[in-house]
Structure formats: structure tokens, C-alpha cells
Amino acid sequence: MLFEIILTLAVVIGGILAAIDKWVLEPKRASDAPMPVVMDYARSLFPVLLIVLVLRSFVVEPFRIPSGSMYPTLHIGDFILVNKASYGIKLPVVYTKVIDTGAPERGDVVVFRYPVEPDKDYIKRVVGLPGDRISYINKTLMINGELVKQQAVGRYETEGSGAVLNGTMELTEDLLGVTHNILIDKDRPPSDLIEAVVPEGHYFMVGDNRDHSYDSRYWGFVPEENLKGKAFFIWMHFDGGVNTDRIGKSIH
């Protein structure tokens, strides 16, 4: 959020300075007089900063995955792109929605502002929609009383920072029509949630690395206004080195 504030201020200040020079100072300046350094920088950088702000606020925003809560879907060191127009066009900094473009669907991988500390960005999977009854008992998810089916894949094996998860159990989960893989650590006690009803305008988010994710099971629901966008693409991976096998993968 700090970067977004700084970028927005730079665009506003640069735009004001560029306008002052263009319409006030330039007509009075001699043709052979040099442009003041500050005005030169303002007029040169303003269009670049404006393009960056527009793209980052309304089109796509890059993020780096810093933790292992979304293994096996997302790895530590993945650099991802997030579609900022997925759930509404919002003004930067104040996050006021100006155009409604849709709502999250169950199974979406979403970046959002952590409700407890809104300056922090989290990424999780949408499990519960408004009105859903969510239960998580003995490492098994239930939605509106319906058991979410799981099918074993086998022992999970990976490299890099995620190697600490080797030996955990990988399963394919059918999230009522949306299939994706999750990890279960049988050595960790279950984090049972008897039942939670998702309020209107809120969502229940859970990490795919079920026993190593700090998510809605612990701190509650994510309000709609905290949603930043849907993760859709891995454009780079660096975790002690570049892993080209992960570059270009879609996120689902």
C-alpha cells in the first residue's frame, strides 16, 4: 500500500508541475532558455508514472509469493500477475469501486488486503461465498452440509524452499465442481472449525497447504472491499535460482 500511495502522489505532483510548466512558464520562457531541471523531470516522468499507475491500479499488478501457504499451487519465489479488473474497477489508495465487473467464484485464487492488517496483502483460495455454511473437521471440508471430495495423489516432493514439505500428502480436491490440489500434513493436529456462516459481502479464504496456512479458519472473513484481484499467471520464479519449469503456468 505504501508504494501505491507514493506512486499516486508522484503522479499528482508530477502532473501539476508539468501542467504549470506547459501552460504558465513555457509561454514566458525565452526560446533559448533551458527548462528548469525540476520541470524537465516532471514533464519527462509524468507520462511514464501515469501509465504505471493506470496499469497497476486497473489492469494487472505483479506480486511475489513469500510464503508456503499455497503449495502445491503456488511456490515460494513465484512472481505472479493479478487481474485487477476481476472484481470491480477501484480507485487507487481509497479503493472505492467505480465500476462493478463481477464477483469471486468458488475456487478462485485471490489477492486481498488482510482484514486484521490492511497494509498487508494475502493470497488464498475462495472456499466460501456469501451465505455458505463452512465446516472443516478432521482435515475435511464441508460446504452447506456437502462433503468436499478428496482423492489421494501421493507423497509430495519438490525442491527449493518448499522442500520442507516433502513427505506431506498431496490430494486432489473437488471444490463442488472446481478441482485443484492441496497438501495435508498428517503430523500436524487438525485445525477444526465446527461451522461458520459467511456473511453477505464477505468471503471465506483458505490456503491450499491446509496445515501450514493462516487463513479464514483463524481470523475470519474477507470483506468484498478488501479484494484486490484474481491471480492468473506465473511470469517468473526465483528461489535461489530461476526455475523455468514454472514460468508461464496459469493459476487455477
- The domain limits of the chain are 2-59, 65-237
- Residues of the chain under the 50 pLDDT cut: none
HEC-encoded secondary structure of 71-137: CCCCCCCEEEEEECCCCCEECCCCCCEEECCCCCCCCCEEEEECCCCCCCEEEEEEEECCCCEEEEE
Q: What pLDDT, on the 0 to 100 scale, is given for residue 94?
A: 83
pLDDT at 161: 95
Catalytic positions, please?
69, 124
Name the CATH topology of 65-237: Umud Fragment, subunit A (2.10.109)
The answer to whether the CB of 110 falls within 8 A of the CB of 61 is no
